[in-house]
């Protein structure tokens, strides 16, 4: 099998304690976190993109897309983030971890991030679980339905990233769709609902929609205008 690349999405919500800090403390905490995520040096794990989820979901504020290395390396980076002043105020809402590799149904197709493509303006990220019946179908039938699914998707300017996640969480795959237009993303997902393979979808929520921001911007946007304590 072609070598796979570990990748994952970490979705965080700010705890209420964050708003009780004064502006000086919040600013210092954010700068610490920025340093951890941008000064990786020779670290094998890299940050592909950071996303703001503010205004999209009531239960999440920040999403980080990490790529490369191994689980120990990823954990090391996240532990360093947790040790910053921001860390105690970040509550992990979801973790979607998996391996990116060429598709088993279309070996010439691989995730956009493995092709070196620049991250899209928007990313819709969700887990995916197929019904048990899907895995009992003949291989030929599965390939036919996945080919139809691929044809429908290629009609849109939406880039797909699928991670294999069997045994890594409560899901079998992680899907990240990247687009420059929200309308294009909506049209693509609606069209994909008409594919025969949809009959074999057991679960594909929760979905997190993020607006890509430079990591410095994404983290600084976590700082509210006001706050507790003495003003900085």
Other Cβ atoms less than 10 A from the Cβ of 227: the count is 18
The answer to whether residues 160 and 115 touch, using CB atoms and an 8 Å cutoff, is no
In three state form, how does the secondary structure of 74-89 look?
A: HHHHHHHHHCCCCHHH
Q: Report how far apart the first and last C-alpha atoms of the chain are (Å, whole number).
A: 55
H helix or E strand, kind and range, residue 203: strand 201-203
Q: Could you give the residue numbers annotated as active site? A: 126
Cα(206)–Cα(179) distance, rounded to whole angstroms? 19
Cα(115)–Cα(110) distance, rounded to whole angstroms? 7
Among candidates 91, 119, 105, which has minimal Cα distance to 153? 105
Instruction: Kindly give the interhelix angle for 139-154 and 182-192, rounded to the nearest 10 degrees.
Output: 150
DSSP characters over 173-186: EEEEEEES-HHHHH
161: helix, strand or coil: strand
The answer to whether residues 105 and 143 touch, using CB atoms and an 8 Å cutoff, is yes
């Amino acid at each position: 099998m072609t070598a796979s690349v570990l990748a994952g999405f970490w979705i965080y919500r700010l705890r209420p304690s964050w708003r009780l800090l004064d502006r000086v403390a919040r600013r210092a905490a954010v700068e610490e976190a920025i340093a951890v995520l941008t000064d990786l040096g020779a670290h094998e794990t890299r940050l592909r993109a950071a996303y703001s989820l503010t205004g999209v979901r009531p239960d999440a504020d920040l999403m980080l897309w990490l790529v490369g290395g191994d689980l120990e390396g990823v954990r090391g980076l996240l532990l360093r983030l947790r040790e910053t002043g921001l860390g105690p105020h970040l509550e992990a809402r979801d973790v979607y971890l998996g391996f990116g590799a060429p598709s088993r149904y279309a070996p010439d197709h691989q995730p956009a991030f493995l092709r070196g493509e620049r991250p899209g303006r928007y990313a819709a990220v969700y887990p995916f679980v197929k019904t048990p019946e899907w895995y009992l179908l003949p291989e030929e039938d599965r390939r036919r339905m996945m080919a139809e699914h691929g044809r429908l998707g290629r009609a849109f300017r939406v880039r797909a990233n699928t991670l294999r996640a069997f045994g890594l969480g409560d899901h079998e795959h992680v899907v990240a769709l990247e687009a420059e237009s929200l309308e294009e993303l909506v049209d693509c997902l609606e069209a994909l609902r008409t594919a025969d393979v949809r009959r074999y979808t057991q679960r594909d929520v929760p979905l997190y929609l993020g607006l890509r921001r430079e990591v410095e911007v994404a983290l600084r946007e976590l700082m509210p205008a006001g706050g507790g304590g003495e003003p900085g």
